[in-house]
């Protein structure tokens, strides 16, 4: 699967930055795929707790942890959810542990090592502003 | 003579004094309905002209035409435009009522240009939640729930939703450990 980078305005609007972002359908919420940044520095997949709310996921009994993000700490709750990506020509669905975090300052979800980079062979061709994902056979 | 931004109009045999600033205030909390052809830009959002005139006058939309609504809004100083023509095709991949562009297959260059245009539009919406479809802004809303609720209500499907970064932390994706 191939995806172009997404052009995202820098804060302040002075410039546009192409970013390696793919849209991920979470638990079949196809009408609103969540934009997620590929982040090989993140140990896991993280999203805002609002995503859990959108998909009607009850996290009250989910395992929780305090996570450091960008100089602050957030409360994360862990759940196994179905994720899917598609480039229009082909797609792939898998299940992964996702930390739903509150508060959540990043504008996107973060696709980290466990649950994403361990499920795909990932090429980030920054010079061509494109991403290639090849699912790894289980 | 009426000032720009203020008009007395007759619609369906009734007279209305319409003011640009009153319409801007009234639409501040109004989510736009899907655009089928023409739109009017109010507060950085695109609305169907008939939706706005119905709100401003309290009239039923059957009481006036889209052309009337556009003309009134233009005279009040709002920008009015038309979405590029599209053809609707059926496909297993599409939901009911969803359309795809078939009038032109974008080249890589034009696709990049459209992405840049979208990004420039997004610069005006820091902190807003946006739904994107075919590199066009479908909706900007204050909360993710509002956005998804609108998509669901109007049977629309976005390609992507996210919050437009309002600061470096939001933009940076600082990796949690």
pLDDT winner (highest mean) among A63-67, A131-135, B3-7, B134-138: A131-135
What is the structure's pLDDT at B87? 35
Any CB–CB contact under 8 A between B91 and chain A? Answer: no
Candidates A39, A100, A42, A111; CA nearest to B177 is A42
Nearest-Cα distance to chain B for A81, in Å, is: 18
For testing the chain B interface, which of A31, A43, A125, A130 should be mutated: the one with the most B CBs within 10 Å? A31
Any CB–CB contact under 8 A between B166 and chain A? Answer: yes
| B100 alpha-carbon distance from chain centroid | 17
Of B119, B159, B169, the CB nearest to A9: B119
Torsion of CA A59, A62, A68, A74, to 10 degrees: 30
Of A4, A11, A53, the CB nearest to B166: A11
ipTM computed for the complex? 0.91
| Beta strand ranges found along B5-78 (DSSP E) | 6-11, 14-19, 38-42, 45-47
Nearest-Cα distance to chain A for B121, in Å, is: 9
Of A23, A54, A68, the CB nearest to B176: A68
Judge whether A67 and A74 are in contact, CB under 8 Å.
yes
Q: Would you tell me which residues 47-86 of chain B have a C-beta closer than 8 angstroms to some C-beta of chain A?
A: none
The helix (run of H) or strand (run of E) holding residue B72 is helix B66-75
Dist. CA A54–CA B17, nearest whole Å: 42
Kindly report which listed range (A27-31, A35-39, A81-85) carries the lowest average pLDDT score.
Answer: A27-31
Query: For the whole model, what pTM was predicted?
Result: 0.73
Judge whether B51 and B33 are in contact, CB under 8 Å.
yes
What is the structure's pLDDT at B173? 58
Interface touch B169/A46, C-beta < 8 Å: no
What is the structure's pLDDT at B2? 53
Kindly report which listed range (A42-46, A76-80, A82-86, B37-41) carries the lowest average pLDDT score.
Answer: B37-41
Asked if pLDDT for residue A94 goes beyond 90, the answer is yes
CB burial of residue B25 (10 Å; 0-12, 13-18, 19+): exposed
Interface touch A39/B175, C-beta < 8 Å: yes
What is the structure's pLDDT at A35? 96
Candidates A101, A105, A116, A99; CA nearest to A20 is A116
- Helix pair angle (B20-27, B49-57), 10° resolution: 100
Any CB–CB contact under 8 A between B157 and chain A? Answer: yes
What is the structure's pLDDT at A32? 92
Q: What is the pLDDT along chain B (177 residues), one digit of tens a residue?
A: 555 678 888 988 899 999 989 999 999 888 888 888 888 888 777 889 999 999 999 999 999 988 889 889 888 888 777 775 543 332 233 233 333 333 344 566 677 778 888 888 888 888 899 999 988 888 888 899 888 888 888 888 999 999 998 887 777 655 454
User: Under 8 Å CB-to-CB from B145, ≥6 apart: which residues?
Assistant: A50, A53, A54
Q: What value does the mean pLDDT of chain A take?
A: 91
Banded model confidence at residue A101, pLDDT cuts 50, 70, 90: very high
Judge whether A137 and A92 are in contact, CB under 8 Å.
no
- Which residue in this structure is represented by tokens 């706005």? B52
| Beta strand ranges found along A15-129 (DSSP E) | 16-19, 21-26, 34-38, 45-48, 64-69, 72-86, 91-102, 109-111, 120-125
Interface touch A9/B123, C-beta < 8 Å: yes
Any CB–CB contact under 8 A between B41 and chain A? Answer: no
Which chain A positions have a beta carbon within 8 Å of B116's beta carbon?
7, 16
Nearest-Cα distance to chain A for B77, in Å, is: 26
């Amino acid at each position: 699967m191939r995806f172009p980078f997404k052009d995202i305005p820098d804060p302040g609007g002075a410039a546009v930055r192409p970013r390696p972002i793919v849209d991920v359908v979470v638990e079949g919420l196809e009408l609103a795929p969540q934009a997620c940044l590929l982040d090989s520095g993140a140990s896991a997949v993280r999203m805002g707790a609002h995503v859990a709310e959108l998909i009607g996921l009850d996290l009250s009994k989910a395992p929780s942890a305090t996570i450091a993000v960008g100089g602050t700490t957030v409360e994360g709750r862990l759940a196994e959810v179905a994720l899917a990506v598609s480039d229009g020509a082909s797609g792939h669905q898998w299940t992964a542990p996702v930390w739903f975090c509150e508060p959540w300052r990043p504008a996107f979800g973060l696709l980290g090592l466990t649950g994403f980079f361990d499920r795909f062979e990932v090429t980030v061709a920054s010079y061509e502003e494109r991403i290639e994902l090849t699912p790894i056979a289980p | 003579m009426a000032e720009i931004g203020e008009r007395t109009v007759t619609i369906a045999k009734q007279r209305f004094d319409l003011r640009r600033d009153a319409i801007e205030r009234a639409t501040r909390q109004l989510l736009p309905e899907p655009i089928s052809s023409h739109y009017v830009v109010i507060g950085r959002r695109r609305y169907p002209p008939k939706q706005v005139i119905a709100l401003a006058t309290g009239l039923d939309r059957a009481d006036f035409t889209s052309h009337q609504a556009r003309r009134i809004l233009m005279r009040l100083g709002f920008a009015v435009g038309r979405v590029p023509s599209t053809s609707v095709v059926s496909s297993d991949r599409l939901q009911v009522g969803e359309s795809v562009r078939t009038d032109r297959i974008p080249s890589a260059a034009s696709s990049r240009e459209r992405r840049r245009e979208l990004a420039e539009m997004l610069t005006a919406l820091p902190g807003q939640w946006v739904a994107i479809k075919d590199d066009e802004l479908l909706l900007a809303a204050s909360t993710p729930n509002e956005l998804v609720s609108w998509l669901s209500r109007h049977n629309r499907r976005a390609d992507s939703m996210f919050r437009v970064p309002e600061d470096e932390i939001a933009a940076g994706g600082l990796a949690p450990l």
